C-alpha cells in the first residue's frame, strides 16, 4: 500500500444494552470504554466495522 492512510476512532457511547456483536466489533477496533481512542488503518474491512458501530463512535482522518 503506497499511502498509509489512518483513521482515528473514538468511542463516544456505551456498548451496554447493544447487541453482543457490536460490543465485539468495538473490541476488535481497539475500543472498550467511552473516551478511548485508537488509530486504525483505512481499508475496506475496517470501514465495514466502523459502519456497524457508527452510532457509538466518531471517526476522523489522519
CATH hierarchy code of domain 6-61: 3.30.1390.20
Question: How far is 26 from 1, CA to CA, in rounded Å?
Answer: 25
Per-residue pLDDT 10s for the chain (62 aa) are: 447 899 999 999 999 999 999 999 999 999 999 999 999 999 999 999 999 999 999 999 99
User: Is the CB of residue 41 less than 8 Å from the CB of residue 6?
Assistant: yes
Query: Rounded to two decimals, what is the model's pTM?
Result: 0.88
Q: Which residue has the cell 470501514?
A: 47
Q: CA 61 → CA 9, 10, 23, distances in Å?
A: 9, 12, 23
The domain segmentation of the chain, as residue ranges, is: 6-61
Instruction: List for the chain the helix, strand, coil content (%; round to 5).
Output: 30, 25, 45
Amino acid at each position: 500500500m503506497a499511502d498509509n492512510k489512518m483513521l482515528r476512532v473514538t468511542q463516544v457511547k456505551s456498548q451496554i444494552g447493544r447487541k453482543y456483536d457490536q460490543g465485539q466489533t468495538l473490541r476488535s477496533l481497539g475500543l472498550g470504554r467511552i473516551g478511548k481512542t485508537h488509530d486504525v488503518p483505512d481499508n475496506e474491512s475496517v470501514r465495514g466495522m466502523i459502519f456497524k458501530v457508527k452510532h457509538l463512535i466518531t471517526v476522523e482522518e489522519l
